[in-house]
């Protein structure tokens, strides 16, 4: 979801934080409308800056994270900030280990990878990478997919060599309460916004299927808990929207989702849906590790249920009718109707 920055975000406080903590004094701060829960700006220093860019332009990618929108990290703002800082620190450690795939944040003058702007928001600075970004649902060629799988294998293999403070990803649906509350209130009108009643009727029509998915999710979670596979460092969201194609190869951004988990937390996004049974062979060949199909199903289902809960909450509230919201509505209806989450569209084998 691409959203404008909240009115509560003060650009002058961002400038002050950049100067005080990173010695960056941008001449321009241009908003980049991409993502949700995090807000981004491109910072340009026309005459270079104190961090070493003496001539020409110094460019940075500024991210402001809303600490109220990351339930997978923490239960309150302070724990979320602590987890976010650990995630960004982990990305930096991975890059220092030679993983070119990783785009880590730039440490502040005192060595921190994130700073609080205020109680609700945190700020981080990333290098500006010249490359082409993608969007959810973009195709990926078999050659590029295999390359990314080998890069992910290196990421997972780096786990023993990274002294990380990130947590083990729990096998739970963090938006479960939102979804159950909505399911429990289908018998009364939802009149908050333009989509509210339509959302109630749509969820009512598919409530049984949603409950079946929750039941299957719980069964798979219990199975993974019993299996207790040694976790690895995972990015969690290696979908097209987080990939940059550069002249020197693929780069993976947005490391706030990094966590210790089964490798399948990354791999499910690259598994073709009933179109290519060899989709993950490059990973198996490099690691010698078989794919756990139950884990693949679990993480795909977790994403589907998380999106279902988030869309339900969005349309249950006061959401004005816009083209953006109409596109999200179509995605919501597709999920309720049983369409699986598919980050990458199939590509021609010869692409």
**Cα–Cα distances in Å, from 324 out to 4, 5, 201, 240?**
12, 15, 21, 19
pLDDT recorded at residue 350: 47
Q: Span 41-61, mean pLDDT?
A: 70
DSSP characters for 180-234? HHHHHTTTS---SSTTHHHHHHHHHHTHHHHHHHHHHHHHHHHHHHHH-PPPEEE
Among 96, 99, 74, 60, which Cα is nearest to 256's? 74
Angle between helices 323-336 and 293-316 (to 10 degrees): 130
Topology of domain 13-130 in CATH is Phosphorylase Kinase; domain 1 (3.30.200)
Report the alpha-carbon distance of residue 337 to residue 144 in Å, rounded.
Answer: 31
Selected residue with higher pLDDT from 52 and 64:
64
Could you give the residue ranges of the DSSP H alpha helices within the chain? 11-22, 77-96, 142-157, 176-184, 196-205, 207-227, 264-267, 281-287, 293-316, 323-336
Whether residue 139 is predicted with pLDDT greater than 80 in this model: the reply is: yes
- Tens-digit pLDDT profile for residues 56-104: 457 999 999 999 989 889 889 999 999 999 999 999 999 999 999 999 9
- Tens-digit pLDDT profile for residues 152-181: 999 999 998 887 788 899 999 999 999 999
- Tens-digit pLDDT profile for residues 273-296: 767 888 999 999 999 999 999 999
Q: Check if the beta carbon of residue 217 is closer than 8 Å to that of residue 173.
A: yes
Sketch the domain layout of the chain as residue ranges. 13-130, 142-338
Confidence grade of residue 228 (pLDDT, cut at 50, 70, 90): confident
Q: Span 105-134, mean pLDDT?
A: 94
Please give the backbone phi and psi of residue 243, each rounded to the nearest 5 degrees, phi first: -105, 135
pLDDT recorded at residue 274: 67
**Cα–Cα distances in Å, from 14 out to 10, 48, 86?**
7, 19, 21
232 CB-near residues (< 8 Å, 6+ apart)? 155, 156, 157, 159, 260, 261, 262, 263
Confidence grade of residue 227 (pLDDT, cut at 50, 70, 90): very high
pLDDT recorded at residue 173: 95
pLDDT recorded at residue 18: 96
User: 3-class SS at 277?
Assistant: coil
34 CB-near residues (< 8 Å, 6+ apart)? 2, 40, 133, 241
pLDDT recorded at residue 347: 62
Q: Span 108-122, mean pLDDT?
A: 96
Confidence grade of residue 6 (pLDDT, cut at 50, 70, 90): confident
DSSP characters for 113-135? S-EESSSSEEEEEEEPP-SEE--
pLDDT recorded at residue 351: 46
**Cα–Cα distances in Å, from 331 out to 31, 203, 238, 242, 298?**
26, 13, 20, 19, 20
Report the alpha-carbon distance of residue 6 to residue 128 in Å, rounded.
Answer: 23
Q: Span 103-118, mean pLDDT?
A: 96
pLDDT recorded at residue 48: 52
Which percentage of the chain shows pLDDT scores above 70?
Answer: 93
Per the prediction, the chain carries an average pLDDT of 90
CATH architecture group of domain 142-338? Alpha-Beta Complex (3.90)
Among 249, 266, 84, 78, which Cα is nearest to 159's? 266
First-to-last alpha carbon distance for the chain, in angstroms, is: 28
User: 3-class SS at 40?
Assistant: strand
């Amino acid at each position: 979801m691409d959203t404008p920055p909240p009115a509560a975000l003060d650009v002058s406080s961002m400038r002050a934080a950049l100067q005080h903590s990173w010695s960056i004094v941008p001449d321009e701060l241009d908003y980049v409308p991409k993502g949700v829960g995090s807000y981004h700006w491109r910072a340009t220093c026309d005459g270079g800056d104190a961090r070493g860019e003496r001539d020409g332009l110094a460019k940075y990618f500024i991210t402001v994270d809303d600490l109220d929108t990351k339930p997978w990290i923490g239960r309150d703002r302070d724990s979320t900030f602590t987890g976010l800082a650990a995630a960004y620190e982990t990305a930096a450690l991975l890059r220092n280990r030679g993983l070119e795939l990783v785009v880590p944040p730039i440490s502040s003058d005192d060595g921190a990878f994130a700073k609080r702007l205020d109680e609700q928001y945190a700020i981080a600075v990333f290098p500006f990478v010249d490359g082409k970004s993608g969007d959810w649902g973009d195709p990926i060629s078999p050659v590029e997919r295999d390359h990314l799988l080998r890069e992910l294998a290196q990421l997972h293999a780096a786990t023993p060599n990274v002294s990380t403070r990130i947590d083990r990803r729990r096998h739970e649906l963090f938006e479960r309460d939102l979804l159950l509350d909505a399911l429990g209130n289908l018998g009364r009108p939802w009149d908050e916004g333009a989509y509210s009643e339509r959302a109630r009727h749509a969820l009512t029509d598919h409530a049984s299927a949603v409950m079946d998915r929750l039941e299957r999710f719980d069964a798979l979670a219990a199975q993974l808990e019993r299996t207790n596979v040694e976790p690895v460092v995972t990015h969690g969201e290696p979908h097209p929207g987080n990939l940059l194609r550069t002249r020197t190869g693929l780069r993976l951004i947005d490391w706030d989702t990094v966590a210790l988990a089964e490798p399948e937390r990354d791999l499910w996004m690259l598994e073709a849906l009933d179109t290519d049974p060899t989709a993950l062979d490059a990973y198996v060949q490099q690691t010698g590790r078989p794919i756990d199909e139950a884990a693949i199903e679990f993480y795909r289902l977790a994403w589907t249920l998380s999106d279902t809960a988030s869309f339900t909450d969005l349309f249950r509230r006061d959401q004005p009718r816009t083209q953006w919201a109409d596109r999200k509505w179509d995605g919501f209806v597709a999920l309720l109707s049983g369409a699986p989450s598919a980050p990458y569209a199939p590509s021609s084998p010869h692409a």
